[in-house]
Amino acid sequence: MLRSNRQSGISDWDGMRYDFVCPSPTHYPFQWFWDSAFHAIALLHIDPELSRQELRCLMQGAQSNGFQGHMLLWERDAHKRWLNEEYSIRLAHPFYTATIQPPVVARAVERIFEVTGDKAFVREILPPMVRFFDWLARVRDPDDDGLIAIIQPDESGLDASPKYDKAMRIPYDPPTHTLPALQQSMQRLFDAYKGATAEAQPLLDVFLFEDVMVNAIYADGLRALARLSRAVGAPEPDRFERASQRTLDALMAKCWDADAGLFWDLSGVAEERARVLTFTSLFPLILPDLDAAVAKRLVREHLLNEKEFWLPYPVPSVAASEVTFDPAWQTKTTWQGPTWVNVNWYLYWGLRAHGFDDIASELARRTVAMQARGGIREFYDPFTAEGYGATDFGWSCLSLDLIAAETSG
């Protein structure tokens, strides 16, 4: 499947050569930023050269100021209809978007390095990665608290998550919850951003989310940059380590709710806690430096809670205790209840980092069982394992990494 999702050729974009795995040929024909990082990890178990190729292609989208768009439109003309029908695309350039996605790429490079020991590849790919992390710190942390902000829901990759409803002014309206309202609301954001520079957009405060999942991935990426820089003798490993610690400290100081035993995203300049329970609230578990007592509460009180996340096929994108929880995809939109494999992949490694090996193994086992039932789909019903959304969905192949981790001990 990863091979058949592969797209290659020469683009009208400056005649650049592209060669990457698209998320789904029928649903998502372009190169997406966090998808490609996940694809690179899955590809490691097929052919490490394809992993490197995936990220080399992605990095061709790196701009000299550090910015990287969340979609690279290599074959733009072939998919014009797709672009015209998509309501949430904001372009910075004919061939890439003005939107970002979580910086999973550093973790992917670290995984490639662990498996291949290829220092030359790390040296080649570090500079554009570092420039992107620096761009995030410079442009997306206007209050300089160590937490970066997203300025539209798609930037977390969690597009229609109900945790954004309040900030997007979307009323709860089942069963078609969000799609039409989201389109309107997105237009409101885009109108506000029109004409403003990338630097000025976060300052407008029309949608400014310090998202816990995004910041956990950011802190994890900074740690990966530190380790990679140290391994190849590149400059400034300590700077990345300090920045990672600062983000974790800020998550603890601002997002941790000691009464509830979980983390909340912060909305707007006022940093209002967005109290909608989604898997995001558990995500700092992916950070090995997270305090062990905090990790334990996340796991014991929430991940393993059968009323919230520990369903037959965990981990649902929205807790079963939320009114917006839509496990069977009635809303026909994303991130409103079904289980996604990339979430399970991150949490699997987080559980292992904190010594919950048995729970990690059980999560891996149920993830693979879910796919045996539901196929390789975009997301799954957490009760029945029925697959929904895109078919032949690339990052669902992350289960290859889980299987390899489980079988190699």
Can you give 309-338 as a three-state secondary structure string?
Answer: CCCCCCCECECCCCCCCCCCCCCCCCCCCC
Measured from the CB atom, the residue of 34 and 256 that comes closer to ligand GLC is: 34
Measured from the CB atom, the residue of 244 and 344 that comes closer to ligand GLC is: 344
Nearest distance, CB of residue 101 and ligand GLC, angstroms: 6
Nearest distance, CB of residue 34 and ligand GLC, angstroms: 6
- What string of DSSP letters covers 284-304? GGG-TTS-HHHHHHIIIIIIT
What's the rounded Cα separation, in Å, for the pair 341 and 336? Answer: 15
Contact call for residues 23 and 340 (beta carbons, < 8 A): no
Burial class (CB in 10 A: 0-12, 13-18, 19+), 77: exposed
Q: Which residue is nearest to ligand GLC (CB)?
A: 157
Nearest distance, CB of residue 61 and ligand GLC, angstroms: 14
Contact call for residues 110 and 46 (beta carbons, < 8 A): no
Closest Cα to residue 162, out of 357, 337, 376, 355? 337
What's the rounded Cα separation, in Å, for the pair 386 and 365? Answer: 16
Nearest distance, CB of residue 344 and ligand GLC, angstroms: 15
Nearest distance, CB of residue 128 and ligand GLC, angstroms: 20
Closest Cα to residue 309, out of 336, 332, 284, 339? 339
Measured from the CB atom, the residue of 34 and 283 that comes closer to ligand GLC is: 34
Contact residues for ligand GLC (CB under 6 A)? 23, 28, 32, 34-35, 157, 159, 334
Measured from the CB atom, the residue of 23 and 284 that comes closer to ligand GLC is: 23
Measured from the CB atom, the residue of 157 and 327 that comes closer to ligand GLC is: 157
Measured from the CB atom, the residue of 101 and 201 that comes closer to ligand GLC is: 101
Nearest distance, CB of residue 35 and ligand GLC, angstroms: 5
Identify the three-state secondary structure at position 19. strand
